Amino acid sequence: MAPPEIKPSQLADAVLSSVLDGSYPDSDDVAGAVLEASALPEIVASLQKARESLYVQFSFNLRSLESMLNVTRMK
């Protein structure tokens, strides 16, 4: 029996979840899938999107913290 076809998006989600929170895929098929070179562009794009999102979130939080510190210093 041939292994089930795993979509690159499923692999991308699994890799991203592993990077973000250390989790493993729920599906044994995804966990045991062969990582084909053809899936790499989608995996990299998923990681880049997450990185950009985290950067925006971090920048916003940093600006908020700086504003709070400036208000505290003015008192």
pTM attached to this predicted model: 0.68
Contacts of 46 (CB under 8 A, 6+ apart): 12, 13, 15, 16
Q: Any idea where the domains of the chain sit in the sequence? A: 8-74
What pLDDT is attached to residue 68?
79
Closest residue by Cα to residue 33 from 21, 43, 47:
43
Q: Output the tens digit of pLDDT for each of the chain's 75 residues.
A: 667 889 999 999 999 999 889 998 888 999 999 888 999 999 999 999 999 988 888 887 888 888 878 776 666
